[in-house]
Chain A
Amino acid sequence: MVRVKSRYLLCEVIVSDRSRLLLLDDRAIAIAVKATVARIHGDYGAALCSVGFSVKYLNAHTGIVFLRMPKRCYKLLWSALPFITSIETRGEKIQCFLNCLHVGGTIRTCQKFLIRYNTQQLHRMLPKCKNEEEKQQVSQALLNCTLVGGTDEAFEDELRSEEDEEECLPNMP
Chain B
Amino acid sequence: MSVFMDLNLIYTGDRTGLRTLLETAAHLGFSTVAINYVFEPTSKKKQEIPTPTPINELIDHLPVVQGRSRPIRVLNRLTVVMSDSSHFRPNATEYRSFDLLAVQPTTEKLFHAACMLYDVDIICISVSEKLPFFFKRAPVNGAADRGVVFEVSYSAAIRDSTLRRYTIANAINLMESCKGRNVILSSAAEKALELRGPYDVTNLYPTSGASDTDVWTFMFTQLWCSVTIYFCVFLTRLLSGLLFGLSDGDAKEAVCSTCRSVLLHAETRKTASGIIYTMRSCSDSAGQEGAPGDPEHGDPPAAKRHKLVLTQ
Contact = CB atoms under 8 A, between A and B. Distances in A.
Whether chains A and B associate is yes
Contacts of A38: none
Given A85-B158, A97-B196, A78 B203 contact: yes
A101 B28 CA distance: 9
A80 interface: yes
B20 interface: yes
B253 to A, nearest CB: 12
B249 interface: yes
Interface stretch (A24-32, A105-113, A165-173): A165-173
B204 A75 contact: yes
Contacts of A41: 226, 229-230, 233
Interface in A74-111: 75-76, 78-83, 85, 95-101, 103
A3 interface: no
Contacts of B29: 173
B169 interface: no
B1 interface: yes
A170 B248 contact: yes
B226 A80 contact: yes
B249 A79 contact: no
Contacts of B157: 83
Contacts of B1: 173
Contacts of B225: 75, 79
A75 B248 contact: no
Interface string B114-126: 0000000000000
Interface in B240-282: 248-249, 252
A170 B250 CA distance: 11
B33 to A, nearest CB: 16
Given A173-B1, A173-B29, A173-B67, A79 B196 contact: no
Contacts of B67: 120, 173
A137 B289 CA distance: 33
A130 interface: no
A19 interface: no
A155 interface: no
Contacts of B112: none
Given A44-B233, A79-B225, A85-B193, A100 B199 contact: yes
B30 to A, nearest CB: 11
Contacts of A160: none
B193 A82 contact: no
B200 A81 contact: yes
Given A44-B233, A171-B199, A173-B2, A78 B193 contact: no
18 contacts: A14-B27, A40-B226, A41-B226, A41-B229, A41-B233, A44-B233, A75-B206, A76-B233, A78-B203, A79-B204, A83-B157, A85-B193, A99-B197, A99-B200, A100-B197, A101-B197, A124-B66, A169-B248
Q: Top 5 A-B pairs ranked by shortest CB distance?
A: A99-B197, A82-B196, A82-B200, A173-B67, A79-B225
